[in-house]
Amino acid sequence: MLKLQKLFDVSIVSYYNLTLIVETMEKGDVKISDKIKIFIRYNTWKKLYNLIVTGIMIFFRKTYSYNYPIVVYIEPTNICNLHCPGCPTGVGIPSNREKNTLKLKQFKFFLDQIKDFVYSINFSNWGEPLLHPDILSMIEYAHRNHIRTCMDTNFNINISEKKAESMIKSGLDLVTVSLDGFLQKTYGKYRRGGKVELVKRNIKTLARMKERLNSDTPEIEIQFLIFSHNINEVDAVKNFAKQAGAKFTSKYGRRPGIEFDPHPDEPYAPEYGDCIFLLTITTLNSDNGLAPCCLSYYKKDDFGELTSDFNFKRFWNCENYIYSRALFSRMKKVRRSASNVLKEKKLESPCLRCPYYTKKDKRYGQMGIL
């Protein structure tokens, strides 16, 4: 009976881990049948092997990890043309990083060390990726190396037919466009400095060029962050998405203040499950800093640097990674001693401040700033 119970627990944990991996792998609101198609499209034997090793590492909550990440975040630039009040870049919170654009050469040097194992790259972090002059070359390089490519954008630069054609030809798989308002006065309350009609026009241009070139990609996804000022325009943007042949997804954004809260009287108790990011993803920032997670913003929270002698395996198992992974061990004793060691060794880890670890969250504040 005990054995049966154990087998049941193991299956539940394995299934749970699998769903976490799938969630990490496929960005966007993706149907299960499409998830399978994407998986088959980008899979190789090497990636599958790495995926299995990753599953084992997660199952045993290993601190020294024998896998490679399956998803990578690349920050082409930390410069932005808008001033969203809930984004640390938008309001100019000092991260102790210069304003940068990642060099194409550095990006290739980094990717070359892990490209055989990575399923997907998200070209966005703390800035507007389309402001980078080489963004499409980066996407093209990843695409040529058989990696799914995704990008979040505020779409506030002019997308001519020629530019749309280059986006399509780069091989970009998914573009998630931030559009959280139908009218300018609504949209501009969060996307400060942005022009809603320009975003809509760009979406239509891209959709038209996809049709003209008979291309299924990039899939266009419109992402609507719900706040108090725009909740009445969700349906209008949803209809716009439908007409433009784009997918629509909405979610509650991190609220920069009570005035943005659509439900200030509701109790707020978000559930933070297990974090598997330390074993599945990594982030290259535009200043060559390497962070364990796309939620971390400050330079001091980086775990490494892309120097000329950079070695991914060494970085992936550096002390910061090992002790941060130990924070999520299944054993209470290990978790407790990990936080002490981090403090004793004066090692920075954004995980110590992360809601996945502390299990506490504030309803208001800057997104991802930890």
Ligand X SMILES: C[S@@+](CC[C@H](N)C(=O)[O-])C[C@H]1O[C@@H](n2cnc3c(N)ncnc32)[C@H](O)[C@@H]1O
Binding residues for ligand X restricted to 216-255, rule: CB under 6 A: 223, 225, 253-254
What stretch of H or E contains 122?
strand 120-122
Q: Say whether residue 179 binds ligand X (CB under 6 A).
A: no
Using an 8 Å Cβ cutoff, are 217 and 172 in contact?
A: yes
The 3-state DSSP class for residue 72 equals strand
For tokens 């109790």, the residue is: 267
96 contacts: CB under 8 Å, gap ≥ 6: 298, 299, 300
State the CB neighbour count (10 A cutoff) for residue 15. Answer: 10
Kindly tell me which residue out of 100, 101, 124, 296 binds ligand X, with binding defined by CB under 6 A: 124
Q: Which is nearer to ligand SF4, 210 or 229 (CB)?
A: 229
Least separation in angstroms between CB 295 and ligand SF4:
13
- Inter-axis angle of helices 196-212 and 234-244, to 10 degrees? 20
| Beta-bridge partners for 220 | 175
# of chain residues touching ligand X (CB under 6 A): 17
Alpha-carbon distance of 348 to 276, in angstroms, equals 19
Kindly tell me which residue out of 55, 69, 76, 127 binds ligand SF4, with binding defined by CB under 6 A: 127
Alpha-carbon distance of 66 to 267, in angstroms, equals 42
Q: Say whether residue 192 binds ligand X (CB under 6 A).
A: no
Using an 8 Å Cβ cutoff, are 95 and 298 in contact?
A: yes
Using the rule CB under 6 A, give the single segment among 120-128, 239-247, 272-280, 338-346 that binds ligand X. Answer: 120-128
Kindly tell me which residue out of 20, 51, 74, 87 binds ligand SF4, with binding defined by CB under 6 A: 87
Q: Say whether residue 126 binds ligand X (CB under 6 A).
A: yes
Q: Which is nearer to ligand SF4, 143 or 191 (CB)?
A: 191
Using the rule CB under 6 A, give the single segment among 78-86, 297-305, 308-316, 326-334 that binds ligand X. Answer: 78-86
Binding residues for ligand X restricted to 284-343, rule: CB under 6 A: none
Residue nearest to ligand SF4 (CB): 90
Using the rule CB under 6 A, give the single segment among 60-68, 78-86, 226-234, 333-341 that binds ligand SF4. Answer: 78-86
Alpha-carbon distance of 205 to 345, in angstroms, equals 54
Kindly tell me which residue out of 154, 280, 296, 349 binds ligand X, with binding defined by CB under 6 A: 154
State the CB neighbour count (10 A cutoff) for residue 258. Answer: 10
Least separation in angstroms between CB 166 and ligand SF4:
21
| Alpha helical stretches, state H, 131-271 | 135-144, 161-169, 184-190, 196-212, 234-244
The site for ligand SF4 (CB under 6 A) is made up of 80, 82-84, 87, 89-90, 127-128, 154
The site for ligand X (CB under 6 A) is made up of 80, 84, 86-87, 124, 126, 128, 152-154, 176, 178, 223, 225, 253-254, 367
